Chain A
Amino acid sequence: MLAINNIEVVYDNVILVLKGVSLHVEQGSITTLLGANGAGKTTTLKAISGLLRTERGQVTKGSIEFNGQRIDGMRAFDLTALGVAQVFEGRRVFEHLTCEENLIAGAHVQRDYGKVRDGIDRVFQYFPRLKDRRYQQSGYLSGGEQQMLAIGRALMSSPKMMLLDEPSLGLAPMLVEEIFGIVSRLVAAEKLSVLLVEQNATMALGVAKHGYVIENGRVVLEGSAEALKKNSDIREFYLGLNEVGSRKSYREVKHYKRRKRWLS
């Protein structure tokens, strides 16, 4: 459905951020992109959604294809109409707009007002909490509610593919589970494809079908979520478990530092 072929991204004409990233997202499933801070996860998402341009970045090599159509270099708002929606890191709801107005803004590409109404009802079905907050200014919602609103707002454009940037950021573990649960339901019910960027690898590998690990602007590892969960490097560096599978103790860390088995 989405194919990124060996792209390079350069900011400001000099800063090389992605150095050859390739990945595929299959239809109707969650693919996750794991990596530390500054690895290039968000840049990859922005390269797909066309927002690089607003930050003076550009794709200098490689190509991005969505359903067989080349989309690198397209403008962000045209891509939304094509069916790619992005949920931003840190939620970024329109704070001074009410919940409902946020959803209406999200439905900008829908021409038919009936579809906007249906869309709002659909979002309220998935996130019943938002219905209670319907006429409240979204800036005063709780973090979890704002994240729900951000996902709901992205749903309003009836996307085929959703780019989800760290939905777990700053949320309580219970809320994270709730939100991941809803996302999984969405994928199953709406045949949505999701590219999920996460730091919470345990959560992400729990719901994803396939995963990629990105470091320093390169994809260093990829595989099915099951395989990644068993990979000893992933266990050590992303899941915080040691070889045996028990929780790591800090005493061992001091005595023995394991080296990664990939080069980045």
Chain B
Amino acid sequence: MNWLEIERLLDRFWKGETSLAEEEQLKNAFSRNDAPAHLSSFKIYFAYNVDQKNIKHPQKDFEQKLLEKLNSKKIGFLSTPKLLAYAAGLLLLMSSLFFLLDNNDASKYKPLTAKEIRVAQKYLVLIANNMEQSAAFTSQKLEKLNMLNKGAQTIQQYETTYNKQIKNLNRIEQIDYSFNQLKYLKAFSNNKIKL
């Protein structure tokens, strides 16, 4: 072992100038028992890092349990295509209501442009992502509740979950409302330009 070279590397190591490959060289060098006395106090640092890297995830059956969860319906029951379909349906319904309730002549509205469709798609994806995240979050919480099997706590946590879902629904409604407002403003500005 060329300890002069190792010492030179070590100087650069303290300065944060070594590459990962050079740092690996240092680890290997200090894993040996023939380090010079004046470098021996640094041996412990490299040994500590090697031992830390040996810390493993404590659950032996983690992968098996995770696969069971991934395969369970709870994770996938609200898939993106389904959500998109629901969101699109909701949007269509609200748009229809908006047009029906509006007293103005429907003929003044232009068909949606490509840009507007893209904006609508963006909103739909946002809604879908939010719903999917909240669905995953809720399913995890529900699973934990079953394991705890404490009646009173279960009721309390169901309430919490319910409130969160309501919040999410409100958020989606707010997004839809904002989207409709935007559409209305767009139509209004188009009219104004025409006039």
* A and B interact: no
Q: Which residues of A are interface residues toward B (Cβ below 8 A)?
A: none
Q: Which residues of B are interface residues toward A (Cβ below 8 A)?
A: none
